Amino acid sequence: MKFYNLIIRYRLALGFFLIAIGVITNVYVSFWPAFPAYLIAAIMIAGHFFIGPLRLIQEHLETGDMEGAEKVLNSVKYPNLLYKPIRSAYYTVKGQLAMMKQDFDGAEINMKKGLDLGTPMKEVKGASLLQMGMISMQKGNLKQGESYIRQAIREGLPDKENQAAAYLQMCNIMMNKREFRAAKEFFRKSKALKPASPELVKQIKEIEKYITRIPG
């Protein structure tokens, strides 16, 4: 795995190095002995521009190194050349990092780009829609936030943490709309999933203090 990541990190430089090896071999020997170097170089250079280094982001995200993840993203100079599903992932991750920095406008722009490009996995689309809903709510647009979160629930979410977060956000929206019966139902669904995230656990405990006392 580490060796593969190393190849990805230096893929472009290795590609040009192999071209140089191929040219030298071609000049002093002949074309066919040089052909493997040309072929591997072409694959590496094409991979750099059409697949990109997004695989490297995973190791940074797993260790919480947001600065490292951002450096990997910034190393992509021509995102429009990326293969469409990878370009979608590029903009989605870029939106997620912007959201962590509370750059909600930047997060919204990039998440929309990712969604517009599409994704073959419905759960990934659902998670992106959920984040778009949260961005809209942070910006005070509850109507748009509700629309995104309902779409996220319909598309499907990847795990119970995301599902619980979606139901809890819907609970808050219904509370603001004074639709208390619906708010209680969404809260019940969220709590039933027993999320482990400290933030969600804290929110559930806070809401539980008063939701049983409201009408509906």
pLDDT in tens, 74-120: 999 999 999 999 999 999 999 989 988 889 999 999 999 999 998 76
58-211 has which CATH code? 1.25.40.10
- pLDDT value of residue 216: 64
Structure tokens at 187: 């809260």
- pLDDT value of residue 1: 62
Q: How far is CA 43 from CA 39, 89, 95, 195, in A?
A: 6, 22, 29, 44
- pLDDT value of residue 211: 87
- pLDDT value of residue 149: 97
- pLDDT value of residue 14: 95
- 27's CB contacts (< 8 A; 6+ apart) are none
pLDDT along the chain (216 residues), means of 10: 82 96 95 96 95 87 85 93 92 90 91 86 84 91 94 93 95 93 95 93 91 78
Q: Answer for the pair 187, 171: CB distance below 8 angstroms, yes or no.
A: yes
- pLDDT value of residue 64: 80
- pLDDT value of residue 2: 77
Predicted model pTM: 0.82
Give the domain ranges of the chain. Answer: 1-50, 58-211
Which DSSP helix (H) or strand (E) runs through 130?
A: helix 122-138
- pLDDT value of residue 158: 87
The DSSP code for 83 is: -
- For the stretch 95-118, what's the b/e string if a residue is b when 16 or more beta carbons lie within 10 angstroms of its beta carbon? bbbbbeeeebebbbebbebbbebe
- pLDDT value of residue 74: 92
